[in-house]
Structure 1
């Protein structure tokens, strides 16, 4: 083994560096080529961005220029201000116009108006002589220019801030009034460079893009004293037709990108060199590592030649060693098979003891088994995998195929756990149930690990096999004694697939906090369905749907569903035997076996409901046909319909019915009992209580108003009757229905 390990290490040391270097170079080349495409796209995007910024800035500056030209037109208020030297109203009105211009355009830093007549300058706040105006040097410079109406290069505007002189960088636009001579005055607008920078900055992403602005002479707007550097190949320049300024958009880190962008030939050559070097190195290393194998082959060939030349000599050392090794291998294989069978049985017994918590009776034996399987005490969690639609699974596949599929599922579970670095015990404990016991040193994230593992197993089975599985997740266990509790929780979780659905992961923590509905509510619903079915009332399918909906919403376990379904079958058989004995023959021969088979063979409530609905629909047709053959059936249906319409009448009684339908009260009461299964008073009270329940569920009518509507003189009497029939007071019933509706919405 030592020699073998050294040889393996030498092989790895020989090949791995070549493989790693080659793959690294190729990966780097691949990403460099991909980066070239990205840079090309970025250059095109920069070009579009520069054009967009140019259009937006030019549009804003043009709008400012147009409005300033309108203000400077002769005949306006500014002309009257320039012609009159001592009118405060005109001064205020002209200053207001300048302020409104600044309000309309946020880019404008300041606006002022120079009056030639007396040499005064008006801005947004005051009028003063030109000699006292901070920016007087630029005003005098502009007056000497022959052509105005052009945005200037970036300049420094002198100003006074809080009583102290200050400077701010702006670009200016001036118009003579009138335009041809400027004999009346000069209107000047200043746009702050920082505002212009902020306006442009809103249109780019500063983390990856840089934007610069230069005037016609190459002076930078955003960096005083700097001129435009030479154009980078990764930047985009757009010259404005309006201002003559140059807008430059470039990518940050451009030097590295430029190198990557223009090194395509280098990358191709480097890739070819890496491949040639890898091929040559592989040949060299392979040849060098093959020498020991070649030496062994020569020795085997030499011994083979000796044996061929002496065929009759059987007692040589090689034959003896060969026979000894053959016997050793044969015996070892037989022993391994026997040991493997023993280990499987021992493992199953160990797991059964672990899940049932029976190891406490023999603690020493338990410790021995625990150490034997190489498991260390720590934190545990149980998952229970169950084959869905096992009846169909057993009918579809032969026993050998079933065993093969079970082996595949357990192998997938084991291998998936190993790939995730998890330690698990996987065993089939029943014909359709596989236990997955997760063992970890740390208790943190134990549930997340098991949920992730279970979802991988479920998805693999769904994607590769013709059947599905549902997995129940137990609760974490901090010691060996708690494993049985975790297993019970996993069993309870997987049993709820009848209401939750198949092919799912069901966590015990999710269903634990969802208590089952009170049993008497379900039993009352079942009795209602059976009574409506026996009486040929067409509302029983809706009540049946409501029953299964409630069981689904409350995620009932398989055992609880089976109990309710069998109670449904028992109660229906009891009612039919008492009211319709002639219906018992089809019930025993067809209906009851179908209902029982549906309850046992269906994995979900949806399947049970579908099978029940189809079978009971046929039974309802048979009951209706039998009922129609009974004496006074038409009369009793008419009476029942009349009572269903007039049940809110407080004067309704057997006497009134006997007078209306010309039948004695005593015989009418007997017919009620035979046809409906209830006496008249109970039937009438049942209708009124059902109406009251509907009002409590669907309206805000008070209990007192409901009692008056039902003809009760005292609300206390109504509450007592309601509680006796329903089991809850009207207020409690309304509150429970509201909570149930909220849970359904959630």
Structure 2
């Protein structure tokens, strides 16, 4: 069968946008190359602008420097202010001279003069001590500089105003007075970097040109956290001979323009590569995308007689051909699904679910049809429920395919055993681990006896031939269809008793009896008593837990009842621990509680549950016991520390005395000191006595010998040696260094400290 391959032509035409984009890029490259001439002119203009900015800035800064040098000449007003006695008129003249300098040069932010003989600082408005001056840190640093008269790198200058302290970025020029020694004082002139930026901005067009100044360390004058970076192709760097600063002038967006306009030959080669790549990619992608469609067409052509009738007209193109094939495939699939829904197995499952729920009376007509289909002409019915033991382990051990195979084998064995006994049976899996057996007897007879025999045969066969076991619960025989649901409920209740009766057995509903209401009160009392014993770290909880599981086994509790009691135990234990032992909350939430809940969910027998609970609660009880011991140790150590802090002057105080008083061995007491305080007893006691000695030395005139005797030392030499080892200096040196400084700084461990 032949089809029109027009789709490949349409696909080729659909890639024309790729060619359009490629041509657009090439056009852009062409204009970029043409504009490179403009870039050369821009570079030349930047160079001239940078030289002009450098000359203009250096001229202004030199003028400020020259003016400052004239002001500090010998015999001038500023030198008189520094050398002559203090005089208000002279202070005013000097301040007025500084203000005049600021007025003449608009770049200057502030000027102030430091007088060395009395440590006073004069600015345009005030004279104040250096210690109160906002920018005192820079003055102190400038006094130690060997060379002056050089403009500094940008720095933050602190100023004290009406609204508080403020900081501005400035560059500073300082001169020692006189020049060679600076013994009289120091003159400092500050120029704001923002003023320099505005000053330079007058010489350039800020909208298209940007300028920056870097000091000799690469630190930028304008902007925050800026440093000297690599120069772009559209910027020019000029270094000032006067200041040593680097002036950079460039076009805004220079990195992008440099990338676009650099290298005409490179752009030409790139353009040719783009054209070749676009054409090759277009044909390759087109052919590659069409290949799956071509494969589909070949497969359909191979079986065209089955998909399209021989008399069908040839389709106009491949898509219409594929569309017809897919439409027929969907139609056939829907028909197959409708047939599957009517399959006997699905009908049997639906019918069985209706019987077990007792809902068949809602639709009597459908019930009669299903009844005739399965041959239910009347008689007696009995329900057995088979449940796989340890289903969680079974699901983890085998793959889904193997699980389905084992379930099929189990149901087949159940049907075969029933048929060999001459009984009619309906067997279906209603859950992942439960198989329902509906046994039917039309002529009456001992139906319960037959069901017990069949159930035992199924159980023993599974045990002997498969790697797992099953437990079966048997309901009572009923005489009509509505009572089938009652028989099923009895079978479900019987099989739930396996948690207390055991696994791999047949449980008849007549074997189990309901618990009396009074028994629940006894269980709850056992749980509350056991929780109290666990919280108090009493070992009796172990016997109480064993008794609880023993009582549940004796009364054959259902699985639901066992789970209800154990969930109450977990809840009550969590409440007591959170309320009275908050330190144990984290291990309870992360380890103990999840382990108990998992055991309740996955365990099938009381023996398994008892083992898991004994192990998990045992670990919890150990932690509670350890916590209780730590609490007692902490209380005892607090009492001992308080006693030592009160009696440390007693010369007879020792580990032996403490052990006798607190009824604890000296060795264990020494260990507690090391663990809780981090020091042994002797170091702790010496520390208290030395602190007391330092206080006496600072506040009294007692002799070293008296202090040594008061502290229990045999001779002053021993006391002095211990004091010097701990403090770093002798008692006499300590008293001399701290004489009269009761509230001020004092010597502590050989260093000056503040009280």
Shorter-chain TM band: 0.3 to 0.5
Larger Rg: 2
Q: TM-score, structure 1 length as denominator?
A: 0.39
Q: TM-score, structure 2 length as denominator?
A: 0.39
